């Protein structure tokens, strides 16, 4: 997948070329592309004082950075202790069959990424799913699949209203 390198250049122009800027530059690259493409790392290395290995090292060291593309929405199924006890496995299975992907994968249209995460901090609502900043709690398999139905309906409605 090729990316618009002009966007990478603009980020470097804004943040600076010194090695101390690796984190802020990579943060903006991820904001722009939703992950850190290898082409972006190569371009930054070509045009700044940072090397590919420094950039790659930072990108793999910090959990906030992603080196593979993700969907528009990340469906995070909590697998912390309370959610695990509350049936997180079943919630992941329900999401897998609703989205047609395995845990950790993106849907082919890149609308969703299914991901297991550690405790998201609302154990009293276990089992829990988070999508963007919204928390859905006390789920069962059926309710979990309905989250996606609701998100799909919302985006259809938005599509319909934008064509009015």
Query: Which of residues 122, 131, 141, 146 is near ligand FES by CB under 6 A?
Result: 122
Strand duo 134-136 + 129-131: pairing:
antiparallel
Asked if 80 interacts with ligand FES (CB under 6 A), we say yes
The binder of ligand FES chosen from 21, 78, 114, 147 (CB under 6 A): 78
Q: How far is the CB of 126 from ligand FES (least distance, A)?
A: 5
C-alpha 72/C-alpha 78 separation (Å) is 19
Which is nearest to 31 in space by CA: 49, 47, 53, 14? Answer: 14
What is the number of residues in the chain?
164
Residue 110's nearest CA partner among 74, 80, 70, 62 is 70
User: What's phi and psi for 133, nearest 5 deg?
Assistant: -100, 15
Between 69 and 87, whose beta carbon lies closer to ligand FES? Answer: 87
Q: Which of 11, 21, 29, 83 binds ligand FES (CB under 6 A)?
A: 83
Stretch that binds ligand FES, among 24-32, 51-59, 105-113, 122-130 (CB under 6 A): 122-130
Residue with smallest beta-carbon separation from ligand FES: 80
User: What does the binding site for ligand FES look like in residue numbers (CB under 6 A)?
Assistant: 78, 80-83, 119-123, 126, 128
């Amino acid at each position: 997948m090729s990316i618009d390198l002009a966007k990478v250049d603009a980020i470097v122009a804004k943040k600076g070329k010194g090695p101390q800027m690796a984190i802020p530059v990579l943060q903006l690259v991820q904001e722009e592309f939703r992950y850190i493409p290898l082409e972006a790392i190569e371009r930054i290395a070509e045009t700044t004082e940072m090397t590919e290995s420094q950039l790659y090292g930072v990108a793999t060291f910090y959990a906030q950075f992603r080196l593979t593309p993700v969907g528009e929405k990340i469906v995070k199924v909590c697998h912390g202790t309370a959610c695990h006890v509350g049936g997180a496995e079943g919630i992941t299975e329900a999401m897998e069959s609703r989205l047609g992907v395995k845990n950790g994968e993106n849907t082919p249209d890149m609308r969703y990424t299914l991901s297991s995460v550690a405790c998201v901090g609302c154990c009293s609502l276990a089992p829990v799913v988070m999508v963007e900043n919204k928390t859905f709690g006390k789920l069962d398999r059926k309710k979990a699949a309905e989250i996606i139905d609701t998100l799909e309906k919302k985006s259809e409605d938005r599509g319909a209203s934008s064509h009015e």
